[in-house]
Structure 1
Amino acid sequence: MRISLNWLRELVETDLSPENLADILTMAGFEVEDIEDRKSWAKGVVIGRVMQREKHPDADKLSVCQIDIGSGELQQIVCGAANIAADIFVPIATVGSFLPKAGDGLKIKPAKLRGVASNGMVCSIAELGLAKDSDGIHIFDETAFPKLKAGDDARPYMGLDDVVLDLSSTANRADALSMVGIAREVAALTGAKLKLPVAADNIAASGSGLSLSVSDVQACATYIGSVIEGIKIGTSPAWLQDRLQASGVRPINNVVDVTYYIMLEWGQPLHAFDRDRLQTVTGTSDLDIGVRFAQKGEKLTTLDSQERTGTEQTLFITAANKPVALAGLMGGEATEVHDGSENLMLEAALFDTAAVRKSARSQGLRTEASLRYERGVNLAELEVATNRAIQLITELAGGTVVGQAIADHRPDTLTRTIALRFDRTTEILGQIVKDAEIVDLEPRDVEQTLTRLNCQLEKTDQANVWNVVVPPYRYRDLEREIDLIEEVARVYGYNNFNDTLPPVHSEAGYLSTEQAITRSLREAFRGVGLTELIHYSLGKPGKPNQVELSNPLLAEYAALRTDLLDGLIEAFQYNLEQGNGSLNGFEIGHTFCTGEVGFEENECLAGIIGGDPSCEKWQRGGKDQPLSWFEAKGLLDSVFSRLSLAVEYQPDQQETERLHPGRTASLWLRGKRLGTFGQLHPQLRQERSLPDEVYVFELDLQSLMQALSSKSAMVPTLKAYSTFPASDRDIAFYIQDSVTVAELQRAMRKAGGKLLQSITLFDEYKGDNVPDGQRSLAFRLVYRTNNRTLKDEDVEPAMQKVRDTLVSKFKADLRS
């Protein structure tokens, strides 16, 4: 928003310098990005009166002028503009002046043009920075400025005696997109007096033939149509053009300029239709103006000469049900105000923020009007802006209001009452610094601050608790108690609050149990060479129990993921296709599904391992050597060993679509299922052109959290190595194929007691001399203690107990 300082000072009595004002606004949350001092654009430019104009003797397009600049003698200046003439007042850049906006900057020096001396330059508005280009020199309007005098400073007559602040506001401050809104802020921040313009109510006569039909009152809460007859289109006065140009708006004509002016002044977009053209479009003298959403295939040519096709989200203004404008965006070309317009239909409306946003997106169009509607315009001052616009139109273009129609569906009350506790305010904001001393905030400070914001405070029965009535123009912004507390801090001044911590002993920060465990898990998986991956929580729809989005951005991301493996497999495939090699990684993330009681959200840990991890392959003739099942399992076991988790593997065939039915294991921890580990199904690998052996795992993060949250798991303890030698024994036996190694190891570990340190499978054999349905297994059992060297009489009882357990529980046929 560009703020003209001259205009602002007409709305609020302030004599602050531009720099001080910019600092105050920035500290209050309105960042001033630039201070544009327009006075420097035309320093040394004065008013000159052309006394004589003659043709240049050696150039057809040049004129030699004698110009009075108030110095006591005429100055000869050569000018190339076609509109130069005698007896006119023009801006003159005198010798020695500098024009920073003329190209890359122009220093005025005495010169000769085709042999004729020239002392100065007659300026155009482009050379003074008021437009990008111009058709000729600027000529002052003597009717608008009857007291023009040669030699006077030209800047006050061209709007160049001004400073423009370019400031930005946050999205919640819709009121800041207007001069009145900024004036109210300045008044609240500085205590200055407001001087807002007031326009009398325009009570229009009935019988103008105007009626309104709003089909969706949610999309258009209020619509005011005013018919003005007998206007005359012309050029806007200089003061209006100067203010529009300072705000970055190009003047067009007196009627259109007034609609822009009101939008800048009050933040209320307006649109003026040519009433006669509306009647031509409808084919009737009676106008039925409507607001509705577009029907499929409806078209409208807008003011930018673009033909636009409506969608179900496009909001139209219609006349006799025919589209004539994009509501809140842009008018239609067929009904625009033109030089011959004599009668108007002025639109002032309150359109819904979401409706305008969707309509703008459907057309790929953003305008100054839509920007204000999307943030939310003032619901309470629509009539004020309308009356102000009618007043200016009738003053500048003549005409009479002959009719007005109103469709109003606003809420009965446009105010909000919020309870504010003083204790809560001081608890959040702390102490203030006053006269170099740190003191407590007082209730009267809160009252004075909010009163300056035009809030009404009423005390309640409770001590230091107010009921605060929010002004209508802050209705969309101030909704809760914390909003009011923020306003107290902002207006009182953030820099006036004490910025040091209170002198109390505070506890040092620490990680929560969940954070500490999560970090340990990440370190463990990175420690075995896996890369941490992060994927979107969105994916393709079509799976059972998926949570699908009602308004997805893309069809590929129309549902929430139900597991992490799909994303990991796609990432693995993508890296191979890009020539980056195998991606061995893991991910910690959330999964979502629909259950019996509604939506469910879980946190999981999953990973993918595969391909050839080695870099140099010259020893194998350049051939890949992928990880085996046991090598991949060893990486996972290394993680569990680092975390001191005793995880068991059991055969599993629950998921046969993605995983190999004979090479999949379920993981168990303390009798509860932890997750799944297995090799990708051959058919899936073939479809995605993946290596021969790729392995994935998926773990329940909540189960890991429970297992690692105990004090013994969180705090590492020292366990010294035994200095005494170990005693190992081998045992071999025939066993049924249905008995798993995990079951055998669990039984042997229990039978071996405290002396048994480790159990390792070192041989498996099937074939000759092995009974059908059985296999031969050989284990090495290592016994050790910390206080002595074990003897045979120490080991043998434990070993015999292991043998007895294998025979009695599993019917093993011992071979040794």
Structure 2
Amino acid sequence: MRISLNWLKELVDITMTPEALADMLTMAGFEVEEIEDRRAWADGVVIGKVLKREPHPNADKLSVCTVDIGAKQPSTIVCGAANVRADIYVPVATLGTYLPKIDLKIKARKLRDVPSEGMICSLAEVGLTKESEGIHIFPQADLPVGSDARPYLGLDDVVLDLTSTANRADALSMVGIAREVAALTGAKLKLPEIPEIPVKTGGKDLTLKISEPQACPIYIGTLIAGVKIGPSPDWLQRRLQAAGTRPINNVVDITNYVLLEWGQPLHAFDRDRLQSVAGGKNLAIGVRFAQSGETFTTLDSQNRKLTEQTLLITAGDRPVALAGVMGGENTEVHDGTQNLMLEAAIFDTVATRRSARSQGLRTESSTRYERGVNQAELEVACRRAIQLITELAGGTVGTQVTADSRPGKTIISRAIELRMERINQVLGPVFLNPEAVNSDTLSDEDIGELRPEDIDRILTALGCEMLPSEQEGVWTVTVPPYRYRDLEREIDLIEEVARLYGYNNFCDTLPSKTEAGYLPDEYQALRQIHAAFRAVGLTEVIHYSLVKPDHETQIALSNPLLAEYSALRTEMLSALIDAFQYNLEQGNGALNAFEVGRVFWREENGFYETDRLSGVIGGDPSQGRWVQRGQERPLEWFEAKGILESVFQQLGLTVEYQPDRRNPILHPGRTASLWVTGDRLGTFGQLHPQTRQERGLPDAVYVFELDLEVMLNHLVQEDHQALIFQPYSTFPASDRDIAFIVSNQFSVAEIARSMRQAGGKLLESLELFDDYRGTIPVPGTETKRDLVAEKKRSLAFRLVYRADDRTLTEEDVEPAHQKVRTALEEKFQAELRS
């Protein structure tokens, strides 16, 4: 919000510099993003009187003016404005003046051979408007020639661009900021005096029908007759412009002014137009939600299709405004308006937010209603607007009707118990003498705990009522109505104490016992996982966890932003495949990527979530294709599997692969489930050919999906984290090859596990180097390998034996090797070939 310093000084007695005020507000939680010193825009601009105007001898569109600027002799100024004439008062930029808004320094110069000693300014040249048709002419008479023009231009002000947090709805008003400044400085608060205005209550000429009392608990409608629409006075226009609001006419400007002053949105309707829309003799104003398919044209001339979430103001049940958001074009105040209906209402925060979001609108009014408007000052703001309308537009107040559905029709208040012990426990020691904080003579007497008188002073300044309880050091604090939505608990009051006492007045303390920081084991393991996948060339990506709903197991959102993002994802592979396809279509090549994220699903007994690690691998792994005659080579299954194996090897995980056919988007013969010491880790496999063809993907694309929790559990185990040094054996190894025929029903992982167990400590490693599966050969072309029957396979392993303390002999190796043979024959019914 933009805060005018001149306006603020009318509400609270302060003499601080703009910089000091900005620093104080920033330290109190209201960040001042910019200080706009309007005084610098026209520094050096004075009031001048045009004594004589003559045409330029060498230019048809220029004038030579003799201007009195209070000097010994009048100045000659060449002016190009068409509206310049004699006997007018104008702003004049004297020699040496710098105008920052147009980046111009005024110097003596000649224009078409005529000397010019200054410049007569337009409003655009001093920064008040973007464009101007001519020079500015002061409407006042007998102005002091040569005096500073800034007070008459409204440029004797400083504007602070201030940002408030979402919980401080009261800070979106000048009165709210004035209360804050008064509490911080102890200065006197001077709120405007608003007289009681006699109104006629009841009456048949205006009735209210609030169909949604929860969405609109209070509504005040006031009829004002005989207004005269015209420009607002200069002081009102300047305050609106300083706040970043464009002046329109006196009535609309007054509603905007009250919005800025009290934070209460108001809206003025043309009563005659309302009556025309409603029809009939009497005016009936209502509040209801829109019906699906209704349309309405707002003040910005946009024809809007309404939804059932849109809250409406109606006249005779016909829409005339979006409640709390924007008025309608068919009932707006215009130059010919004579009668008004002034709306002052409280709209529910959630209802306003949904209504504004359904139309893609965000206005000054909706912003305040969404944060929460002070109900206690609704009537005050209404009276303030009526007062200004009668003064500036000459209206006569008629009927006023109020609809109040609040229980007991009372202002909601809140009482909170506050303990002195809890305050000091949370906030700790402070500097009792803030002036000594930066001094070199700081002593132990200047440091201590907050005192009860400090608490009483701070909270009373905020408008709270302090009532001591029977227990010592405990108060019952009654929160003021304008802070009702913000101060809810004891800790909120403690935060206010800290904020107003000054965060810079708290002592810097360190814990008595300190220890070096460290990462938790789970987080350290997660870092290792990320690093391992990046190390093998995979790019980490992040997708939205919200997806389009397509099956019943998904968890749907009750209030989604968009239909395409209205459910939580149950898996991450689809998004990765989409990203892979998109990169190919954009000519970026294959995307080898992984993603760590959370998936969600529902079952009969509730909702569930877990963390997953998924990835996609594909494309030609080679860098140059000239050795392949320019042809792409699909990634082999074992190459993709090797990438995963490299990751598991870096992480120290021993993973087994078992055939798997459960995932329909994966190739049924090229998919494996992954296991770590009996725990299912996840799935790895090639995309199903049908899925690949539908998406236009390369011949071989592989995906994997791992359970992150299982992986982390194994990585953080003590036996896994403990590093054990094992020296290399200095003795030579003895290797043996073994080949056999075995049924396809046994996996290589099972066979290798049994061979390791049978080989014992001497078996250092084993490696599969041949795998041939039986087929039916063409008669007459049989080979030895074709002797392998169908549904069987021929496997060949190389076994390496080694001891740490000696060179192995045949007598050492043969018994261990024989155990391996025996295990193969007994457990897998293998037919040994070697």
Is TM more than 0.5 here?
A: yes
Q: Mark the CA change 1:189 to 1:797 in structure 2 (over 3 Å): closer, same or farther.
A: same
Tell me which residue corresponds to 2:735: 728
- In 1, Cα distance between the equivalents of 2:300 and 2:596? 51
CA contact (8 A) 1:770 1:776 kept: yes
For 1:187, which of 173, 182, 186 is the aligned residue? 182
Cα displacement (A) at 1:723: 1.7
Q: Mark the CA change 1:109 to 1:366 in structure 2 (over 3 Å): closer, same or farther.
A: farther
Cα displacement (A) at 1:295: 3.1
Q: Mark the CA change 1:465 to 1:788 in structure 2 (over 3 Å): closer, same or farther.
A: farther
Cα displacement (A) at 1:400: 2.8
- In 2, Cα distance between the equivalents of 1:441 and 1:392? 49
CA contact (8 A) 1:45 1:97 kept: no
Q: Mark the CA change 1:813 to 1:643 in structure 2 (over 3 Å): closer, same or farther.
A: same
Cα displacement (A) at 1:97: 6.5
TM alignment of 1:583-598, pairs within 5 A: 583-598=591-606
- In 2, Cα distance between the equivalents of 1:160 and 1:29? 28
Cα displacement (A) at 1:15: 1.0
Tell me which residue corresponds to 1:276: 272
Tell me which residue corresponds to 2:209: 213
Moved more, 689-698 or 507-516: 689-698
Tell me which residue corresponds to 2:717: 710
CA contact (8 A) 1:208 1:403 kept: no
Gapped runs of 5+ residues in structure 2? 775-784
The secondary structure found in structure 2 opposite 1:642 is: helix
Cα displacement (A) at 1:8: 1.0
The secondary structure found in structure 2 opposite 1:357 is: helix
1:395 corresponds to 2:404: no
Tell me which residue corresponds to 1:2: 2
Tell me which residue corresponds to 2:486: 477
Q: Mark the CA change 1:722 to 1:324 in structure 2 (over 3 Å): closer, same or farther.
A: same
Moved more, 711-720 or 74-83: 74-83
Cα displacement (A) at 1:381: 0.6
CA contact (8 A) 2:293 2:305 kept: yes
Amino acid at match of 1:212: L
The superposition leaves residues 331-372 of structure 1 with CA deviations (integer Å, 9 ceiling, x where unpaired) of 333333334433221111112333333333444443332332
The superposition leaves residues 637-684 of structure 1 with CA deviations (integer Å, 9 ceiling, x where unpaired) of 3333333333222222222x2222222222222223222222222222
Moved more, 277-286 or 223-232: 277-286
Q: Mark the CA change 1:345 to 1:757 in structure 2 (over 3 Å): closer, same or farther.
A: same
TM alignment of 1:601-750, pairs within 5 A: 601-655=609-663, 657-750=664-757
Cα displacement (A) at 1:779: 2.9
Tell me which residue corresponds to 1:513: 521
- In 2, Cα distance between the equivalents of 1:580 and 1:165? 48
Q: Mark the CA change 1:149 to 1:679 in structure 2 (over 3 Å): closer, same or farther.
A: closer
Q: Aligned residues: percent identity?
A: 62
- In 2, Cα distance between the equivalents of 1:186 and 1:337? 36
Q: Mark the CA change 1:746 to 1:284 in structure 2 (over 3 Å): closer, same or farther.
A: same
CA contact (8 A) 1:53 1:63 kept: no
- In 2, Cα distance between the equivalents of 1:84 and 1:748? 106
The superposition leaves residues 160-205 of structure 1 with CA deviations (integer Å, 9 ceiling, x where unpaired) of 3322223222333222221111111111111111010121333412
Cα displacement (A) at 1:567: 2.3
Q: Mark the CA change 1:212 to 1:720 in structure 2 (over 3 Å): closer, same or farther.
A: same
Cα displacement (A) at 1:773: 4.6
The superposition leaves residues 257-306 of structure 1 with CA deviations (integer Å, 9 ceiling, x where unpaired) of 22222111111121222223322333334211112233344444444444
- In 2, Cα distance between the equivalents of 1:179 and 1:306? 31
Q: Mark the CA change 1:794 to 1:218 in structure 2 (over 3 Å): closer, same or farther.
A: same
CA contact (8 A) 1:55 1:64 kept: yes
> Please, what TM-score do these two structures have when normalized by structure 2?
0.88
Moved more, 482-491 or 208-217: 482-491
Q: CA RMSD in A?
A: 3.2
Q: Mark the CA change 1:382 to 1:732 in structure 2 (over 3 Å): closer, same or farther.
A: same
Cα displacement (A) at 1:72: 8.0
For 1:779, which of 789, 797, 801 is the aligned residue? 797
The secondary structure found in structure 2 opposite 1:220 is: coil
- In 2, Cα distance between the equivalents of 1:577 and 1:130? 52
The secondary structure found in structure 2 opposite 1:284 is: coil
Q: Mark the CA change 1:154 to 1:665 in structure 2 (over 3 Å): closer, same or farther.
A: closer
Q: Number of paired residues?
A: 808
1:487 corresponds to 2:496: yes
CA contact (8 A) 1:158 1:238 kept: no
For 2:814, which of 785, 792, 796 is the aligned residue? 796
CA contact (8 A) 1:229 1:343 kept: yes
TM alignment of 1:132-281, pairs within 5 A: 132-134=130-132, 138-141=136-139, 149-150=144-145, 152-206=147-201, 207=203, 209-281=205-277
Q: Mark the CA change 1:803 to 1:462 in structure 2 (over 3 Å): closer, same or farther.
A: farther
Tell me which residue corresponds to 1:808: 826
Amino acid at match of 1:36: E
Q: Mark the CA change 1:17 to 1:527 in structure 2 (over 3 Å): closer, same or farther.
A: closer
- In 1, Cα distance between the equivalents of 2:111 and 2:359? 55
Cα displacement (A) at 1:6: 1.7
- In 2, Cα distance between the equivalents of 1:705 and 1:553? 34
Moved more, 717-726 or 775-784: 775-784
Q: Mark the CA change 1:294 to 1:748 in structure 2 (over 3 Å): closer, same or farther.
A: same
Amino acid at match of 1:811: Q
- In 2, Cα distance between the equivalents of 1:611 and 1:67? 80
The secondary structure found in structure 1 opposite 2:631 is: coil
Moved more, 804-813 or 117-126: 117-126
1:418 corresponds to 2:413: no
1:763 corresponds to 2:781: no
The secondary structure found in structure 2 opposite 1:583 is: coil
Cα displacement (A) at 1:594: 0.9
Cα displacement (A) at 1:156: 3.1
TM alignment of 1:535-614, pairs within 5 A: 535-614=543-622
- In 1, Cα distance between the equivalents of 2:225 and 2:589? 77
CA contact (8 A) 1:99 1:127 kept: no
- In 1, Cα distance between the equivalents of 2:575 and 2:399? 64
The superposition leaves residues 57-88 of structure 1 with CA deviations (integer Å, 9 ceiling, x where unpaired) of 97998888777666688777777766667766
Amino acid at match of 2:668: P
Q: Mark the CA change 1:17 to 1:640 in structure 2 (over 3 Å): closer, same or farther.
A: closer
Moved more, 177-186 or 121-130: 121-130
The superposition leaves residues 93-121 of structure 1 with CA deviations (integer Å, 9 ceiling, x where unpaired) of 27436362674436275978997x87766
For 2:283, which of 268, 287, 309 is the aligned residue? 287
The secondary structure found in structure 2 opposite 1:366 is: coil
The superposition leaves residues 590-631 of structure 1 with CA deviations (integer Å, 9 ceiling, x where unpaired) of 111112322111112223333321112322322333333333
Amino acid at match of 1:232: K
Q: Mark the CA change 1:774 to 1:495 in structure 2 (over 3 Å): closer, same or farther.
A: same
The superposition leaves residues 7-36 of structure 1 with CA deviations (integer Å, 9 ceiling, x where unpaired) of 111110111122211221222222223333
CA contact (8 A) 1:34 1:166 kept: yes
> Please, what TM-score do these two structures have when normalized by structure 1?
0.90
- In 2, Cα distance between the equivalents of 1:235 and 1:799? 105
Tell me which residue corresponds to 2:778: none
Q: Mark the CA change 1:229 to 1:771 in structure 2 (over 3 Å): closer, same or farther.
A: closer
Q: Mark the CA change 1:777 to 1:204 in structure 2 (over 3 Å): closer, same or farther.
A: same
CA contact (8 A) 2:376 2:482 kept: yes
Tell me which residue corresponds to 2:780: none
For 1:329, which of 310, 325, 334 is the aligned residue? 325
Tell me which residue corresponds to 2:455: 446
Amino acid at match of 1:672: D
- In 2, Cα distance between the equivalents of 1:794 and 1:94? 107
Amino acid at match of 2:378: L
CA contact (8 A) 1:612 1:625 kept: yes
TM alignment of 1:66-77, pairs within 5 A: none
Amino acid at match of 1:673: R
Amino acid at match of 1:530: L
Tell me which residue corresponds to 1:381: 377
Moved more, 483-492 or 193-202: 483-492
- In 2, Cα distance between the equivalents of 1:777 and 1:248? 82
Tell me which residue corresponds to 2:505: 496
